[in-house]
Amino acid sequence: MGGAKHDFMFKLVLIGDTEVGKSQLLLRYTKDQFKRQTPSTIGMEFAMQAVQIQDAVIRAQIWDTAGQERYRAITNTYYRQAIGVLLVYDISRRTSFENLDKWLSEVRDHGDEKVEVILVGNKSDLEKTRQVSKEEAQKYADEHGK
């Protein structure tokens, strides 16, 4: 699956507050790595990952957005042509969960009406300091069709 040959290309966007672990998710998925300390994303970064499903090679273009408010104006354009959005919050930081509505509103305002949104409770290694229960997250997902 090396090189640029692929049968399908899909754009995915990672969104959520700063320091919820979006860059770590991207790094783990694309390079199978984890780094304890990573610098904050400035604006936008992206990586590619190819997977083979049956006879087709599917290349995912995954965009990692900056969570800081000052970068929001430039990141809005990256929702365009995205088929999927991972809406990420930190299970050990309630404010990141409370801000999901504003992120979801941004997707609705700037993304395609058919974009799929997946809710991701990140940092499960911090279970002992969890501030958002699984039940509460499930209820949010059910209420918002995620």
The most confident of 16-25, 41-50, 103-112, 130-139, by mean pLDDT = 130-139
Strand order in 84-90's β-sheet? Answer: 44-53, 56-65, 8-15, 84-90, 116-122
Which residues form the domain of 20?
A: 8-143
For residue 60, name the pLDDT band (cuts at 50, 70, 90): confident
Tell whether 43 is covered by a domain: yes
Say which residue, 118 or 43, is predicted with more confidence.
118
Q: What is the average per-residue pLDDT within 94-123?
A: 92
Pick the range with the lowest mean pLDDT from 56-60, 91-95, 138-142: 56-60
Give the total number of structural domains in the chain.
1
Q: Write down the pLDDT at residue 72.
A: 53
Q: Write down the pLDDT at residue 24.
A: 87
Q: Write down the pLDDT at residue 123.
A: 94
Tell whether 115 is covered by a domain: yes
Tell whether 3 is covered by a domain: no
Tell whether 19 is covered by a domain: yes
Tell whether 56 is covered by a domain: yes
